[in-house]
Structure 1
């Protein structure tokens, strides 16, 4: 949907950045199924939680577009969750729970998510509700 040269989205699920974050979270879920059982309540839980939290915080940010400070704060939370997920990903590689090539792919996808988040934060006024 377009109006006066601006693109509008009905829901956060329409955003390519959300779709990528969701896809990557599901990729992490699939990869973490192969983690050792002794990691169930630590690394497995942490990486799944933080990757899912990226998407959840985007949804919350979307609903806070009436208030710039709240919107930007939630998007900043998304950035933090991406960074946390990337750290857990490095641990998974170091512990040899995930192949380096797959981790690089996931890490790169999260860098794309970060890039999109920074663009939205930088131009947050364009996203606010009138």
Structure 2
């Protein structure tokens, strides 16, 4: 039974993505601290934060859906920053594919929750 946002599979996946990205960025160059590193960490944190906030407002169907849309937007932003990281050689092709697969899974689950929420 789902009692809190933390019980949602989609929250758990997006939270883990956020943690994984945070750890990954520890290896980014220092000059990226206030640009790429900050952007990708903030965008991944926004995914799970928006899911949690939307769940907290779930009594109003439109509110939950609005925050799921925000989560999808942050997910897409994360994908852009990961592309930058790959193209700047901060992550390798395999890491990029692994993160792309995770973002694809999360995006599909957010969309499913959005579509099925009554």
Which residue of the other structure, out of 61, 65, 86, is the alignment partner of 1:68?
Answer: 61
Q: Matched residue of 1:38: which SS?
A: helix
1:13 aligned to 2:6? yes
Higher helix content, 1 or 2: 2
| Counterpart-to-counterpart distance in 1, 2:69 and 2:30 | 32
Instruction: Provide the aligned length of Structure 1 versus Structure 2.
Output: 118
Output aligned runs, 1:1-130, within 5 Å.
1=1, 9-125=2-118
Structure 2: 5+ residue stretches without partners: none
Deviation at 1:45, TM superposition (A): 0.1
Question: Which TM-score applies when normalising by structure 1?
Answer: 0.88
**Deviates most, 107-116 or 43-52:** 107-116
Bigger radius of gyration: 1
Moved over 3 A (4+): none
Deviation at 1:18, TM superposition (A): 1.0
RMSD: 0.8
Structure 2 partner of 1:4: none
**Deviates most, 92-101 or 13-22:** 13-22
Structure 1: 5+ residue stretches without partners: 2-8, 126-130
